[in-house]
Amino acid sequence: MLGFLSINSWILAYTPERCIGVRHSRVGVWADKVEDDGEKWDRFVEWLEKAGVRCKNRVSVENFNGVRGLGVVEDVQSDEELFRIPGDLLVNSREILRHPLFQDGESAPGHQILLGSWLLMEQQKGDQSAHYPYIDLLPGKDDFEAQGGPLEFWSEEELAMLECPVALELLQHRLSLLENAYMRLQRQWPKVVQGPVPSIESLKVAVAVAYSRCFRSSQGDEPLNMVFAPLTDMMNHDHPTNKRARAFFNEAGEMVAESTQHRNAGEQLFITYGKLPNLHLLQSNGFTMSQNSYDFAVVDAQRLLSMIPEGNLLFLLEKNLLLPDPNGQVSRWQPLSKRLETLIALYASSESNFLQKMVEDTLSTFSAGYDEDRQLIETLERQADLDGASIRSLHAARIRVQQKRDLLKILN
């Protein structure tokens, strides 16, 4: 979510009239009872109320075009406070790290793995968990797959549709971290946690929830901290220039949400998860945007890298002039940028049209042309009620088109 942590340095319609079965609470949250979830929503709203959550402007939790989101029930002015979440309801990774599960002398796992592990422990408690009403509404594997899901849930055939080695490189790194975390969990769980050891599939889902839901709470020189923030995490992402709300942590440790623009009753509230390209959004949050100005293309730079002395490579890597792979080595995949052009001028100036050849070689690896993929996207976007497989096809086509578009700009 806000300031979302990337896995490495690669990634520098509601109206009251339409609402059916709505219950209004003093907390100021309206929940549309959809399908069989009415009891869950009632319990969640009651839980928020008892925990001291208060909304200065009433908000609604419901489906917007098939996606659950947060909207406003009344007109809201710019810079008006929407609601506050007390610190007691926030679940933060720094506190989880103190749990006996992680007091085995090994290095700290990733923040999302910490939050995912907490989620597994609380799920085993069932309705005895203090956060049960919140946890009961978090997405599961079926929800991820229905919406396209992060890449962990894609088949090998679906991953091949991306035709993006960088995405596969990052995915393999994340799966490796997950496997190492699970081996640790298998050793420690029976010692310090009551109940059966969860499956690796359960850990995969729990960590996917953490990636898609957590917020960064650290500021300045504070140690990194990621948190689950109930209610706030129901706001969906929009481009940073279009955001309609912002969320931040105040000095009292509360999560505060405010509007950033005038919003009419019935409109959905969006926040920005950061200046993130589609590759990151798909990898960590399980969706892509039709228009994303933060996308960038990469080229296979292996030949260029072979022309740079090893000592220079290390220096360029330390100065962030080259991007690393997940293992901290120089990646063969480098973004199209002024920095890349500078390196070509320094180390490959003896060969004419070096950048153009790099781009042409990269384009030749795709199985279809730009126009063909554009037509596929238009076809899929016109269809209603896409199933999971079709949504994944749409995500993959957007990644391919974005890459080809930026590569073709160089040639044209």
DSSP state of 348: S
Whole-angstrom distance, CA of residue 17 vs CA of residue 327: 54
Whole-angstrom distance, CA of residue 9 vs CA of residue 370: 28
Output the CA angle 102-104-106, nearest 5 degrees: 85
Contact 266, 70 (CB under 8 A): no
Per-residue pLDDT of the chain (412 residues; tens, 9 = 90+): 443 333 333 332 222 222 222 344 556 666 654 455 678 888 998 999 999 998 887 888 877 877 788 888 889 999 899 999 999 999 999 999 999 999 999 999 999 999 999 999 999 999 999 999 999 999 999 999 888 889 999 999 999 999 999 999 999 999 999 999 999 999 999 999 999 999 999 999 999 999 999 998 876 666 778 999 999 999 988 887 776 788 999 988 899 999 988 888 888 989 888 888 999 999 988 899 998 989 999 999 999 999 999 999 999 999 888 989 888 899 999 999 999 999 999 999 999 999 999 999 999 999 999 999 999 999 999 987 888 899 999 999 999 999 999 999 998 8
Residue listed under structure tokens 């995949």: 333
With respect to CATH, is domain 9-90+229-276 assigned 3.10.20.30? no
Output the CA angle 229-234-239, nearest 5 degrees: 105
- Per-residue CA distances from 25 to 89, 184, 214, 230, 406 (Å): 18, 43, 26, 16, 50
* Beta bridge mates, 257: 83, 247
Q: How many CA atoms lie within 13 A of 143 on its CB side?
A: 14
How many residues would you count in the chain? 412
Confidence (pTM):
0.87
Sequence ranges of the domains in the chain = 9-90+229-276, 113-215, 298-411
